[in-house]
């Protein structure tokens, strides 16, 4: 197998936005294929090796009987020199039910030709979660429940820009009032910290604006929280790297996802950026940062 070849495997819950992720990879110059059975993965890689294709992406590598063999198959490909990234797109059950109801699409695991009732749909979603649980554990997870299309595109492009061979630390801000994020390995609640929202001058700004930064820089509790989170990560990230983790997502949540959580994500990315590859996401902001 040609050294340096890269394969991105996109999987996840039906209705979570996998087609959007695949389009992002197509735009980035990947040769993409959809719905490839696991048993055809190795022949496909061998064929593209002959064609000297360097950047490949496959979406929905799944099959009921052969799916349990997929993790072992992917491990074998990685051990032979393939730069492999596993991307799992997820969303809350409520979001998935709403998306299927709006589009009137049939869920792939639905036992009936029509999904008229929410109960049948939720049963199909639950079955799919169980089927994909092991694969999710091995993948970089992106929760699309509250993401705009532009944010998802940016998150995928940030992921493929990060070095394959190093652990990448993903910092994500979010608002508890819009629901907890599903893709985090660690979640820190910072709602007890001083809130710029109560200052009419700071309220329309974000944690990336200088007046808010100056305010939070001056708060001892905020600085203590920043130091403690950074120390925790410095203590445990080496162990995660030794466990062959490719991505670790750290979510910081405040009430509105606009001031405190955004500030801490930006600060932590700078503090740890000299030690680890870092990416930043701000779920509630209109424009997602490049990272």
Assigned token pair, 87 = 């991307």
Over the chain (291 residues), what is each successive 10-residue block's mean pLDDT? 74 92 91 85 82 82 65 78 88 92 82 59 89 87 92 90 82 94 94 97 97 98 98 94 87 97 98 93 70 35
- The residue assigned the tokens 């030794």 is 242
Residue 80 exposure: Cα atoms within 13 Å on the Cβ side: 14
**How long, in residues, is the chain?**
291
What was the pLDDT predicted at 249? 95
Would you say domain 6-161 falls under CATH 1.20.140.10?
no
C-alpha neighbours within 13 Å on the C-beta side of residue 194: 16
- Is pTM beyond 0.85? Reply is no
179 within 8 A of 256, measured Cβ to Cβ: no
d(CA 27, CA 128): 29
CA distance 68 to 131: 9
The pLDDT value given to residue 77: 80
The pLDDT score that the predictor gives to residue 64 is: 55
- Contacts of residue 8, Cβ cutoff 8 Å, sequence gap at least 6: 25, 30, 56, 57, 58, 85, 87, 160
Predicted local confidence at residue 187, as pLDDT: 97
Q: Where are the domains positioned within the chain?
A: 6-161, 168-282
């Amino acid at each position: 197998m040609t050294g340096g070849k890269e394969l991105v495997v996109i999987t996840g819950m039906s209705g979570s936005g996998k087609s959007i992720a695949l389009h992002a990879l197509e735009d980035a110059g990947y040769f993409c294929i959809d719905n490839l059975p696991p048993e055809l993965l190795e022949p496909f890689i061998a064929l593209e090796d002959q064609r000297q294709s360097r950047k490949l992406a496959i979406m929905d590598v799944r099959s009921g009987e052969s799916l349990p063999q997929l993790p072992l198959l992917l491990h074998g490909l990685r051990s032979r020199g393939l730069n492999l990234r596993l991307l799992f797109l997820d969303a809350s059950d409520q979001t998935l039910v709403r998306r299927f109801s709006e589009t009137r699409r049939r869920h792939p695991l639905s036992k009936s030709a029509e999904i008229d009732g929410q109960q049948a749909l939720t049963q199909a979603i639950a079955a799919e979660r169980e089927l994909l649980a092991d694969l999710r554990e091995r993948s970089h997870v992106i929760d699309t429940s509250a993401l705009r299309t532009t944010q998802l595109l940016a998150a995928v492009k940030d992921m493929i820009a990060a070095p394959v061979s190093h652990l990448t630390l993903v910092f994500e801000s979010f608002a508890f009032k819009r629901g907890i994020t599903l893709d985090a390995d660690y979640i820190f609640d910072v709602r007890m910290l001083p809130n710029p929202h109560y200052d009419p001058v700071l309220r329309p700004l974000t944690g990336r604006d200088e007046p808010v930064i100056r305010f939070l820089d001056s708060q001892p509790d905020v600085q203590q929280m920043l130091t403690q989170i950074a120390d925790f990560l410095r203590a445990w990230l080496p162990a995660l790297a030794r466990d062959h983790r490719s991505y670790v997502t750290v979510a910081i949540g405040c009430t509105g996802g606009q001031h405190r959580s955004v500030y801490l994500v930006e600060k932590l990315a700078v503090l740890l950026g000299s030690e680890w590859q870092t990416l930043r996401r701000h779920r509630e902001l209109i424009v997602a940062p490049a990272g």
